[in-house]
Amino acid sequence: MFVLLQDVQKHSVHTLVFRSLKRTHDMFVSDHAKAVALDDQSYKMKMAVKMRAEYKPVLHMPVLKEGRERGPLHASDPYGQLGYPLPGALPHYLVTGTHPYPSAPGVALTAETQMQKMPFLNSGLLPRKAPTMPKPQWHPPWKLYRVISGHLGWVRSIAVEPGNQWFVTGSADRTIKIWDLASGKLKLSLTGHISTVRGVAVSTRSPYLFSCGEDKQVKCWDLEYNKVIRHYHGHLSAVYDLDLHPTIDVLVTCSRDATARVWDIRSKANVHTLSGHTNTVATVKCQSAEPQVVTGSHDTTIRLWDLVAGKTRATLTNHKKSVRALVLHPRQYTFASGSPDNIKQWKCPDGNFIQNLSGHNAIINTLAVNSDGVLVSGADNGTIHMWDWRTGYNFQRIHAAVQPGSLDSESGIFACVFDQSESRLITAEADKTIKVYKEDDTATEESHPVNWKPEILKRKRF
């Protein structure tokens, strides 16, 4: 840019310092009482940098409701960040420079040194941010493309094999059937339970299939021989659900005797009995991060357990009715629970409440979630609601027709899972069929627009 007209003279340090001091004096000698005039651009830059560098984690803090209501809504500033307005924009804030004299209230030395009004109107020192409602992500609608019938009773549970080749269903006709995922044909039928099979799970670490039933039995089937090799004895009443720990060889089952039991797979020993619920424990989920075991019960509470000690970590009592369904998000550190009043989302590890997904006013038997953020809730009256996980927007409602020959009242969904590729939804129904859904490829954002009408002020109290 500049052309050096002369070579830089080499001076001693003393000389340089003296020169700089002199220059400073010359610059400021005229009125050093006055504050330095703020340069707009430099100020903006400085604030932006400072905020990003020092206050980045705090930028998105939740705003208290009082603050939002009473404070005036500011237009978002160009940085899209908190409302630290420019000095000239609003007279309410002022970043005061350094004065030799302390600013006393009411004493103004000069017009320029006059301290402006108090910075905040409310007590909360949190910055007020314009509440921008996030737009829900568009998901293609799901449609039914296959109905598999073969069971002679309600299909109560489903599990998909880790290699995505086949899936297993447990039914009220006391059999466990293995179906080919691609074609829907029956591969194998396993008998052994003497009452309804309520839960099935396929192990990712060993070739085992686990099943539990209303006959208090928990069975471990060896899939190489298609035989039962282990029984886990100890439950006092019907076993309603089971789940496998992803990393430890441990099985957790939950039962109508208000306990959940943790079993060592190999030795069949009952490691922990998680008691604390006062009514049937309807659902249990295991994960490798804390909380390792989450149970939902008919006493309307959800308990997060410490697997090491076998004790409750936290009890969530937000639901008003029985919690029959739980699901852990595959990517996020959150989980959701379903009950007839609404579906609630929670944050691990302490179970902090995030939000409600209301609208599915039916007994929710099952929940399933996709990596794309599609949450599926299946109800006892046969309806399926599809939700966007992040915003809670219900983008689709499906009520599939019953199998011909069934009564209309025989529609209900007992279990639903996504397959390992998360592109197919498999549901287990009360009209003795298994229905498979997939995303409708022909739908676009225009054909199925997002009709998002959020409540700006969440005035509902839960």
- Return residues touching another protein (CB under 8 A): 60, 62-63, 65, 131, 133-134, 247-248, 250, 262, 264, 267, 269-272, 276, 288-290, 292, 301, 304, 307-309, 312-320, 331-334, 347, 350-356, 373, 390-392, 458, 461-462
Nearer to another protein, 290 or 440 (CB): 290
In the complex, least distance from residue 271 CB atom to another protein, rounded to whole angstroms: 5
Nearer to another protein, 112 or 350 (CB): 350
In the complex, least distance from residue 156 CB atom to another protein, rounded to whole angstroms: 27
Question: In the structure encoding, which two tokens stand for residue 204, read together?
Answer: 């990712």
In the complex, least distance from residue 118 CB atom to another protein, rounded to whole angstroms: 21
Q: Counting beta carbons within 10 angstroms of the beta carbon of residue 384, is it exposed (0 to 12), middle (13 to 18) or buried (19 or more)?
A: buried
In the complex, least distance from residue 124 CB atom to another protein, rounded to whole angstroms: 12
In the complex, least distance from residue 319 CB atom to another protein, rounded to whole angstroms: 7
Identity of residue 318: N
Q: Mapping DSSP to helix (H, G, I), strand (E, B) and coil, where does residue 166 land?
A: strand
Question: In the structure encoding, which two tokens stand for residue 84, read together?
Answer: 């630290």
Cβ(343)–Cβ(355) below 8 Å: no
For residue 274, the Cα-to-chain-centroid distance in whole angstroms is 25
CB atoms within 10 A of CB 254: 30
Nearest to 429 by CA among 151, 178, 243: 151
User: What is the rounded distance in angstroms from the CA atom of residue 394 to the CA atom of residue 324?
Assistant: 20
Nearer to another protein, 355 or 403 (CB): 355
Nearer to another protein, 279 or 317 (CB): 317
In the complex, least distance from residue 324 CB atom to another protein, rounded to whole angstroms: 17
Nearer to another protein, 381 or 406 (CB): 381
Q: Is 272 left (phi over 0), alpha (psi -120 to 50) or beta?
A: beta
Cβ(354)–Cβ(345) below 8 Å: yes
User: What is the rounded distance in angstroms from the CA atom of residue 323 to the CA atom of residue 311?
Assistant: 20
Nearer to another protein, 213 or 234 (CB): 234
In the complex, least distance from residue 269 CB atom to another protein, rounded to whole angstroms: 5
Nearer to another protein, 26 or 455 (CB): 455
Question: In the structure encoding, which two tokens stand for residue 54, read together?
Answer: 């020092």
Alpha-carbon distances, residue 125 vs 64, 120, 389, 403 (angstroms): 10, 7, 31, 60
